Amino acid sequence: MPILELKNVSFGYTQNLVLENVNLKVEPGQFIGIIGVNGSGKSTLLKLILGILKPTKGEIIKDKKLNIGYVNQTTSTEEGSFPATVFEVVALGLKKRPFSYINFKDKKRVLKTLELFSLTMLKNRSFSALSGGQAQKVKIAKVLLSNPDIIVFDEPTTGIDAESEEILIEMIKHLHAMKKTIIFVSHDKETLLACDKIYKISDYTLEESHV
């Protein structure tokens, strides 16, 4: 049984059509790569999967309780005035109720995740004062901490230095080995080689492809 399925999904922003009759089955534990030229509709497809956008036609079948983690595609100034420290942003991944107490065990989990991304030194820094690559790592750390059923990455390595990119890619491979379901938009050849399936968006539709 697929964990998520798109059946004849079409979508357009007001007038302009982006996707037409897209079909996709995502099996549990699958690592899916999505490619396509700029503006082909990769981010739009992810937003449909996440439920941020609704299909104009067709349907998306998923369990209501399905927890989908999302690392969006950044432009460096996007979250410029977010008034929280790195620790606080990553701790949001714990999905605690607002203002509830973070106990010792939670704190240790946050610190361990920060450590994993070499973010320990930055933990008391304001999130808005980070570089684009640092901010991206913080966002990924937060999503991983929330332990989602499916993790959706939209070009997560953009703006990240080579060393952090290596860590991230190793982490994604590790998540895959742990049977996490991953949907990954990227043009990074090395990561795409690790995917179970690659799909390409072209001419409004999705077809199976290769690196």
For ligand ATP, the closer of residues 127 and 153 by Cβ is 153
For Mg ion, the closer of residues 42 and 180 by Cβ is 42
Q: Decide: 6 and 17 in contact? Cβ < 8 Å.
A: no
For ligand ATP, the closer of residues 34 and 119 by Cβ is 34
30, 43, 74, 113: which one contacts Mg ion (CB under 5 A)?
A: 43
Residues in the chain: 211
Q: How far is the CB of 186 from ligand ATP (least distance, A)?
A: 10
How far does Cα 181 stand from its chain's mean position?
11
51-68 per-residue burial string, b: 16 or more CB within 10 A, e: under 16: eebebeebebebeeeeeb
Query: Binding marks (x or -) toward Mg ion, 67..86, rule CB under 5 A?
Result: ------x-------------
Query: Binding marks (x or -) toward Mg ion, 166..185, rule CB under 5 A?
Result: --------------------
CA 149 – CA 34 distance, rounded (Å): 18
For ligand ATP, the closer of residues 40 and 136 by Cβ is 40
CB atoms within 10 A of CB 133: 17
Which listed option, Mg ion, ligand ATP, none, makes contact with residue 44 (CB within 5 to 8 Å by class)?
ligand ATP
21-48 per-residue burial string, b: 16 or more CB within 10 A, e: under 16: ebebebeeebbbbbbbeeebbbbbbbbb
Dihedrals phi, psi of 104, to nearest 5 degrees: -60, -40
Which listed option, ligand ATP, Mg ion, none, makes contact with residue 137 (CB within 5 to 8 Å by class)?
none
Q: How far is the CB of 53 from ligand ATP (least distance, A)?
A: 9
CA 50 – CA 66 distance, rounded (Å): 10
Q: Which stretch binds Mg ion (CB under 5 A): 38-46, 55-63, 87-95, 125-133?
A: 38-46
- Residue 143 DSSP class: H
- Helices marked H in the chain: 42-50, 86-91, 104-116, 132-145, 162-177, 189-193
* Residue ranges in contact with ligand ATP by CB under 6 A: 13, 18, 36, 38-44, 73
Q: Is 157 in the site for Mg ion (CB under 5 A)?
A: no
Q: How far is the CB of 40 from ligand ATP (least distance, A)?
A: 4
For Mg ion, the closer of residues 73 and 147 by Cβ is 73
Q: Is 44 in the site for Mg ion (CB under 5 A)?
A: no
Return residues touching Mg ion (CB under 5 A): 42-43, 73
